[in-house]
């Protein structure tokens, strides 16, 4: 029972980011932002800390990435 509480608290500070668009033809700054999030392939999902910096990166490229639950 205690492990479920720990997992919930641990996951509360994280978000999952999924790459939904291709970086082909995108400006180099957008490519760098997507790469900075740790995304390389289409439909790849990565888990990142939920910080203002990460949220800002996601907001810069909303047509390329999405936050999934």
- Residue 40 counted as domain residue: yes
pLDDT tens string 9-54:
556 799 999 999 999 999 999 999 999 999 999 999 999 999 999 9
Distance from C-alpha of 5 to C-alpha of 22, rounded to nearest angstrom: 37
**8 A C-beta contact, residue 63 and residue 32:** no
Domain with 46, as residue range(s), is 13-68
- Residue 32 counted as domain residue: yes
- Residue 2 counted as domain residue: no
**pLDDT tier, 3 (very low <50, low <70, confident <90, very high otherwise):** low
**Is 39 or 3 the better-scoring residue by pLDDT?**
39
Judged against a pLDDT cut of 60, whether residue 7 lies above it is answered with no
The model's pTM = 0.81
- Residue 19 sits in a domain whose CATH number is 3.30.1390.20
- Residue 6 counted as domain residue: no
Determine how β-strand 45-49 pairs with β-strand 65-68: unpaired
User: What residues contact residue 11 under an 8 Å CB cut-off, 6+ apart?
Assistant: none
**8 A C-beta contact, residue 19 and residue 65:** yes
In the chain, the number of structural domains is 1
- Residue 35 counted as domain residue: yes
**pLDDT tier, 1 (very low <50, low <70, confident <90, very high otherwise):** low
């Amino acid at each position: 029972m205690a492990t479920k509480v720990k997992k919930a608290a641990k996951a509360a500070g994280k978000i999952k980011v999924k790459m939904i668009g291709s970086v082909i033809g995108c400006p180099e700054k957008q490519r760098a932002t997507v790469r900075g999030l740790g995304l390389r392939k289409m439909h790849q999902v990565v888990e990142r800390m939920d910080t203002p910096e990460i949220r800002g990166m996601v907001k810069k490229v909303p047509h390329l990435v999405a936050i999934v639950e």
